[in-house]
Amino acid sequence: MTDPQPSVPAVFLDRDGVLIEDSGYPHLDEHLILIPGAAEAVRRLNGLGYMAVIVTNQSGVARGLFDEDRMNRFNDLLVRRLAGKGARIGAVYACPFHAEAQDPRYRHPDHPDRKPNPGMILRAIADHHIDPARSFLIGDRQSDLEAARRASLPGFLFEGGNLDHFVRDLLGG
């Protein structure tokens, strides 16, 4: 019998409005504008042993504004841009489903992954041996905080400004 993998703490981060400017369904390379302090905040969290996990609703796919491939390429660009600044994202979970989807493949009345449901968070916890007791979420909407609550995690509302300052104050220094 082998020892179970050690569990790690994680910070779950919403994408639009927390890591990048929310320009309304950002998906093109030129839409990728980092929030002030985003890379520094992720780097700070990495340095404290946190795995950074992006959890993002992406109804633009369901609405027919862009396809899943474009969404994935945009998310990959974000991960690379942060990595170039020494900030490591351990995983990205994106939910393209929406109740009013134009594309029936993405139509779902209440998909378990779509925040405020906790599906993306719970999958990440299982996939990456994350310790929920040492983890938390940062989001910019009440639906993010509700998803955290449903996953039994603390959630913190980021209302703009410098993300690194927010994280520093949140962690007490």
Structural domain boundaries of the chain?
Answer: 15-170
Residue 76 assigned as binding residue: no
Residues 6+ apart with CB under 8 A from 34: 19, 20, 21, 81, 82
Bridge partners for 52 per DSSP = 11, 89
16 a known binding residue?
Answer: yes
Angle between helices 119-127 and 142-150 (to 10 degrees): 50
Q: Looking at per-residue confidence, does 3 or 157 come out higher?
A: 157
pTM value? 0.96
φ, ψ of residue 41 in degrees (nearest 5): -65, -45
Sequential DSSP letters for 87-149: --EEEEEEE--BTT-SSGGGB-SS-TTSTTS-HHHHHHHHHTTB-GGG-EEEESSHHHHHHHH
Q: Looking at domain 15-170, does it have CATH number 3.40.50.1000?
A: yes
Rounded to an integer, what distance in angstroms lies between the CA atom of residue 151 and that of residue 12? 11
Are 136 and 155 spatial neighbours (Cβ–Cβ below 8 Å)?
yes
pLDDT tens string 127-147: 999 999 999 999 999 999 999
Helix orientation angle between 38-47 and 68-83, rounded to the nearest 10 degrees: 70
Q: How confident is the model at residue 173 (pLDDT cuts 50, 70, 90)?
A: confident
pLDDT band at 157; cut points 50, 70, 90 = very high
Give the pLDDT confidence of 66-84 residue by residue, as tens digits: 999 999 999 999 999 999 9
pLDDT of 3 reads 52
Q: Does 3 appear as a known binding residue?
A: no
The pLDDT tens digits of the residues spanning 22-40 come to 999 999 999 999 999 999 9
pLDDT of residue 1: 52
- Which positions are catalytic? 14, 16
